[in-house]
Chain A
Amino acid sequence: MVDLSINFGGIKAPNPFWLASAPPTNSGYQIMKAFDAGWGGAVWKTLGVPVVNVSSRYGSVNYRNTRMMGFNNIELITDRPLADNLREIEEVKKYFPDHAVIASLMVESRAEWEQIIKDVENAGADGIELNFGCPHGMCERGMGSAVGQEPEVLKTIVGWVKEAANIPVITKLSPNISHITDPGLAAVQGGTDSISLINTIKSIVGIDLDSYAPYPIVDGKGTNGGYCGPAVKPIAMHMLKDLAQHPEIGKVPLSGIGGIETWRDVVEFILLGATSVQVCTAVMHYGFGIVREMEAGLRQFMEEKNYTTIYDFAGKALPNVTEWKHLNLKHKVVAEINADKCIGCDLCYIACDDGAHQAIALSGEPGNRIPSIIEENCVGCNLCSLVCPVEDCITMEKRDDGTEHTTWHERTENDDIPVTFDDDRAGGKGHFVPTPEDALKHRK
């Protein structure tokens, strides 16, 4: 029997699907609707200092026919009065005592932190999330990502908060930094109960070609926004992995955020060590109802794999994410084209010829558009299988027999690495390259 309930660093919730601190959690009304739709927790839109927002706040990157593949915003923390938010937190907890309501906070001085923690605890919040990630507007006032980018400052504030708080504390990190483990470790050293990541990435999503201003345009001007949505998922997953694999940081629970929209995204984040996930853009695009697909898919996955709780498989991919130097250099795959499935778009041919390793040939016969793999040139890069528009038409087939295993690391240890390009052990030797005449044969 699948049990989706979690205890995330002391915060209990009926399932790991949480709403990230963002416009969908701006009011008690929205959060109650969300809980009713199936969400297990919500991080309230950041409470803190008074702000004034601009009109024209969101911008989007559309790709082909997909809207909002990437999304950015220049909206600040909540502009609703603190008293209203506190009252609504109380109301939500009255209706949904078992759901997780987490107050995202962002203030400046220690006294402010202590006061606002008291306020949200009194309102009945189950936890606190420290917004050290917002990369627009608030950081110009020394808050948000300005803190997330200064591990020492971050550690100090986490310390203040932990001293004052009686409820669990989540530290939310900014991805706008070279090494995510620096603020991650600072948060742990400051005493945080758990970490969430990523906040949004500094971005410009587009420029208007008539007014020459970046989107979203505010009266002819724009500013950098915070980027999120499906486009940022790979970056988020990588940073999650870095924290999960860290010997110190990996000990605290991690809440995954960044482009999560489907059950597959959820499972991937859990496999990389997340034990709760937070969603924003997908809800801003499709509404709270998308949680139905996430929950059904996650349950199905767990039933098929015989998992009872998400902890049964949390972090299961981590041992397989390694450094390049530990990859098996004897592994060999080559592409195979299924001629029955091929529709003759020849995208694999041109992708390989122009963009990779010149390992695909056209038939040369009129009317026969089915290309073929030149196996001796194929380095097994996968590109053709990635551009192919037909499911399972190009597959990567294993050619090594699995008996040999050697890595760059092992070879370095054994002093068995090439030192010159003439060295027989060097890669790419004898690699096929067509002639200059071949490059210009279509020239008119």
Chain B
Amino acid sequence: MAEYKRPNTEAEFKKNFKQKKPLMNDTEAYYEASRCLFCYDAPCIQACPTSIDIPLFIKQIHTDNITGASKTIFDSNWLGNACGVVCPTGVLCEGACVYNHQDVPPIQIGRLQNYATNKTIDAEKVIFKVGEPNGKKIAIIGAGPAGIACACEARTLGYDVDIYEAKEKPSGLTVYGIAPYKITNEEVLKEVDYLQNQLNFNIKYNNAINSKEELLHLENDYDAIFIGVGLGATRHLGLDGEDKEGVVGAVEFIEELRMKHHLVKVPAKVVVIGGGNTAMDAASEAARMGARKTVLAYRNSKDKMGAYGFEYDLAISAGVDSLFNVTPIAITGKGKVEGVKFAKTEIIDGKLQTNMNNTFIVRCDMVIKATGQAKQGHLYDMIDNLDIDNKTRIKTNDEFQTSNPMYFAGGDAINGGAEVVNAAYDGKMAAQGIHNWLTK
């Protein structure tokens, strides 16, 4: 089990957040690529949400056609570089690799993908072409993976594109919300720069769309609007003492970490509440920031956790302890958090019940809530005739068009929070949907 020293410098931070999927060197890529069987109708392609022709790009890497490999990747996924490292490849392409059936390690598809795109981006190879201008304009709300993908695709189809972004950097979750050992800020921004330099879409930063008036402007100025907003702030749990100093939301914690690195101070004892991938990330990160004790607390049993098994393993390997079948009932302390009061839970008649007769306190100096994020319902409410489902997700048809024909949507806004790769796919397909609608 790893023990992390509190990072006091950027170098120490980098050491603690060593990249999980480091960049391959040429030799490693050559040998790894040579292992690919070039399966017929390959399962890895089927497992990729964007259907990248994986055996083809691996063969291209092997024959030193790196630019061709990148083209194959970007042709299917505009965020091919980021996805190479942030995708949960173990449950997607690499999980589908036939070698798994032979107890042979699967091809490291993600790292090969990242190897190719990184080289192409660093060499500033021009591989995209803006479409013949068609005089039409698309507004995109949110410069996250869905928005960027939509913008890129729309540009190749000849549309003018403006992205309205609330924050000061592009890529949304990829730069603000992914664990720092999965991807660096530089790498994320480099890819967006690369795309933007070739495809010339505009991003208007610090430009949140918050009012009906702003929406009306968009509706007047553009031919179609794509909603690519992510999720909002961490939801309130409604616990006694939740407002105490030291109680933070996981996304806010991760965002601060991504922006400030070693300048973030994590205290000695941390409790992380939740069982999803964000909880695993937050716990792992707290441990890597030098917390002496990090406890992950989940209300149900281990096998009910939403997190991928490998994410849990990663947290455990970083030194995180876990508590199952516990639910927080109060945050204790005088002004500052001093502990979390938990009650044990049990399944009674098939339902998870809290046993208030069995409670205990875990002492800590910080509580990270990874219990879900609020949706951007206030924005959806301002759009006329926009159908949303009971989980506040925008409903779309096969073309990613909403019930208000001018609006299209993709990514977290329609799936409630999934992977970068899903958003990248939605954004691309939505641009095609817009094109089909506008050229009908």
Contacts and interface: CB of A to CB of B under 8 A. Distances in A.
A65 B30 contact: yes
Contacts of B101: 342-344
A350 B43 CA distance: 14
A349 interface: yes
B34 A346 contact: no
Contacts of A349: 40
Interface in B97-126: 98-99, 101-102
Contacts of A389: 37, 102
A346 B30 contact: no
Contacts of B43: 344, 369
B41 interface: yes
B98 A343 contact: yes
A343 to B, nearest CB: 4
A345 B101 CA distance: 10
B39 interface: yes
Given A64-B62, A390-B102, A347 B37 contact: yes
Interface residues of B, number: 15
A338 to B, nearest CB: 12
A345 B40 contact: yes
A65 B40 contact: no
Contacts, number: 33
Contacts of B40: 345-347, 349-350
Contacts of B34: 64-65
For the residues of B in contact with A, the DSSP-based class is helix
A214 B35 CA distance: 28
* Most chain B beta-carbon neighbours within 10 Å: one of A64, A343, A369, A389: A343
A65 B31 contact: yes
Contacts of B62: 64
B38 interface: yes
A12 B359 CA distance: 90
Contacts of B98: 343-345, 369
The prevalent SS among residues of A at the interface is loop
Interface in B288-312: none
A259 B58 CA distance: 30
Interface string A327-356: 000000000000000111111011000000
A342 B39 CA distance: 13
A64 B101 CA distance: 22
Interface residues of A, number: 13
Interface string A347-375: 10110000000000000000001000000
Contacts of B102: 343, 389-390
A65 B29 CA distance: 11
A344 B99 CA distance: 9
A277 to B, nearest CB: 29
A369 B41 CA distance: 10
Interface string B20-47: 0000000000110011011111010000
Nearest to B39: A345
A343 B96 CA distance: 11
Interface string B84-98: 000000000000001
A342 B40 CA distance: 14
A346 B41 contact: yes
B420 to A, nearest CB: 26
Nearest to A65: B34
A347 B39 contact: yes
Contacts of A346: 39-41
From B31, B37, B40, B101, residue with most partner A Cβ within 10 Å = B40
Interface string A373-404: 00000000000000001100000000000000
Nearest to B102: A343
A370 to B, nearest CB: 10
Contacts of B41: 346
Contacts of A369: 43, 98
A290 B31 CA distance: 23
Contacts of B99: 343
Nearest to A353: B40
Nearest to A371: B40
B152 to A, nearest CB: 23
B42 to A, nearest CB: 8
Interface string B55-94: 0000000100000000000000000000000000000000
A347 B41 CA distance: 9
A350 B41 CA distance: 9
Nearest to B38: A347
A346 B46 CA distance: 14
Contacts of B37: 345, 347, 389
A64 B51 CA distance: 25
B245 to A, nearest CB: 52
Contacts of B38: 347
B397 to A, nearest CB: 22
Interface in A89-143: none
Interface string A45-69: 0000000000000000000110000
A65 B61 CA distance: 13
B389 to A, nearest CB: 27
A169 to B, nearest CB: 45
Nearest to B100: A343
A346 B31 CA distance: 23
A28 to B, nearest CB: 36
Nearest to B104: A343
Contacts of B39: 344-347
B34 to A, nearest CB: 4
A425 B34 CA distance: 46
Interface of A: 64-65, 342-347, 349-350, 369, 389-390
Interface of B: 30-31, 34-35, 37-41, 43, 62, 98-99, 101-102
18 contacts: A65-B30, A65-B31, A65-B35, A342-B101, A343-B98, A343-B99, A343-B101, A343-B102, A344-B101, A345-B37, A346-B40, A346-B41, A347-B40, A349-B40, A350-B40, A369-B43, A389-B102, A390-B102
Given A344-B101, A345-B37, 17 more contacts: A64-B62, A65-B31, A65-B34, A65-B35, A343-B98, A343-B99, A343-B102, A344-B39, A345-B39, A345-B98, A346-B40, A347-B38, A347-B39, A347-B40, A349-B40, A389-B37, A390-B102
